[in-house]
Structure 1
Amino acid sequence: MTDPGRAVVDEQSFTVRRSIHIAAAPEAVWRAVTEPELISRWFGAAELDGRGPGAAGTLSWPGNPPIPFRVEAVDAPRSISYRWSNDDAASSTVDEARSTVFTFTLEPVDGGTRLTVVETGFETTSDPTLTMEQHRQGWDSELDELVELVTR
């Protein structure tokens, strides 16, 4: 059983959050949110030059320029945080002035894994309200794809 809870925007704290129950082992979910070859199957085409904090790379979607992202923190197998550029940053590195951080937290629960993603830092974007709504929609669709991948 999978709970498809929807992402929510908190305009006061400039965050987007979504928690879902996935009928899959935490190990499978952890691999899906940390291994570039699996991230590429549900999110965007991911390339990373390493695995730990400081590892950098890009996320790409068809018809769009690559978005720089970087691993910020890892507490395996419980959480991982990534920072990525926003506002169509044209740099090959993360734009610290226009970036947000998204953190995946995994919790083993009866029948699978509770996965929570929290994205913060939208106040640094050029249009926080619009960007939060776009990312809310994105987390809804992308995490649905993650669920499909790990529950097959």
Structure 2
Amino acid sequence: MTTTANQPAVADASELTVRRTITIAAPVERVWAAITEAEHIAKWFGQAATLDEVAVGATGVFSFEGYGDFPVRIEELDPPRTIAYRWSNDNARALDPDQVDPHRSTVFRFTLEPLDGGTQLTVVESGFGTLADPAASLESNRMGWTSELDELVAYLEDGS
């Protein structure tokens, strides 16, 4: 696995957000594919991913071993610059496990900027105030974004 020089994710308890900015030695087009196409998402973010399409309102499921399946919905799309996913990632899930509960979910937004020799990717996850335990979820997702985005760097930079 690539050893990343990127800083870890940061939780802001006052704003109830998690943020991380990383640099990836890959062009924007490859990074965009890795964050929007299910077959690539499954290589670095959990163990499986489905998306019915890449369009605002499209739905899918991201699966994590030991944690289960999490329904997602694309909330914002501006290719190849921005995509935002809403997901029900709380222990208190929607009554229908295949649907995103807008009242108990967070939104994570990826923004890409081209750099010489690569891409700067920023993720900001917000909405933790809607969850059963905002402080615990904030910390859990802070650790998760640190780990998962390190896996994205490894996937795109050296294929591990």
Q: Note whether the superposition's TM-score is higher than 0.5.
A: yes
Question: How far, CA to CA, are the matches of 1:76 and 1:150 in structure 2?
Answer: 19
Output one character per residue of 1:35-54: Cα deviation in whole Å (capped at 9) or x when no partner.
Answer: 00000000021111111011
Output one character per residue of 1:60-110: Cα deviation in whole Å (capped at 9) or x when no partner.
Answer: 112333111111110000010000002231521001111000000000012
1:135 maps onto 2:141 in alignment: yes
Q: CA deviation at 1:139?
A: 0.2
Q: CA deviation at 1:59?
A: 0.8
Question: How far, CA to CA, are the matches of 2:32 and 2:5 in structure 1?
Answer: 18
Question: How far, CA to CA, are the matches of 2:118 and 2:68 in structure 1?
Answer: 35
- Tell me the equivalent position of 1:50: 53
Contact map agreement 1:73 1:80 (CA 8 A) in 2: yes
Provide the alpha-carbon RMSD of the alignment. Answer: 1.3
Instruction: Identify unmatched segments of 5+ residues in structure 2.
Output: none
User: What count of residue pairs does the alignment treat as equivalent?
Assistant: 152
Question: How far, CA to CA, are the matches of 1:100 and 1:9 in structure 2?
Answer: 14
Question: How far, CA to CA, are the matches of 1:21 and 1:2 in structure 2?
Answer: 9
Question: How far, CA to CA, are the matches of 2:66 and 2:16 in structure 1?
Answer: 28
Contact map agreement 1:49 1:56 (CA 8 A) in 2: yes
Contact map agreement 2:51 2:60 (CA 8 A) in 1: yes
Question: How far, CA to CA, are the matches of 1:119 and 1:3 in structure 2?
Answer: 21
Instruction: Identify unmatched segments of 5+ residues in structure 1.
Output: none
User: What's the secondary structure of 2:114's corresponding residue?
Assistant: strand
Question: How far, CA to CA, are the matches of 2:71 and 2:28 in structure 1?
Answer: 27
Q: CA deviation at 1:2?
A: 5.4
Contact map agreement 2:20 2:124 (CA 8 A) in 1: yes
* % identity of equivalent residues: 55
1:63 maps onto 2:59 in alignment: no
- 4+ residue runs over 4 A deviation: none
1:101 maps onto 2:101 in alignment: no
Q: CA deviation at 1:125?
A: 0.6
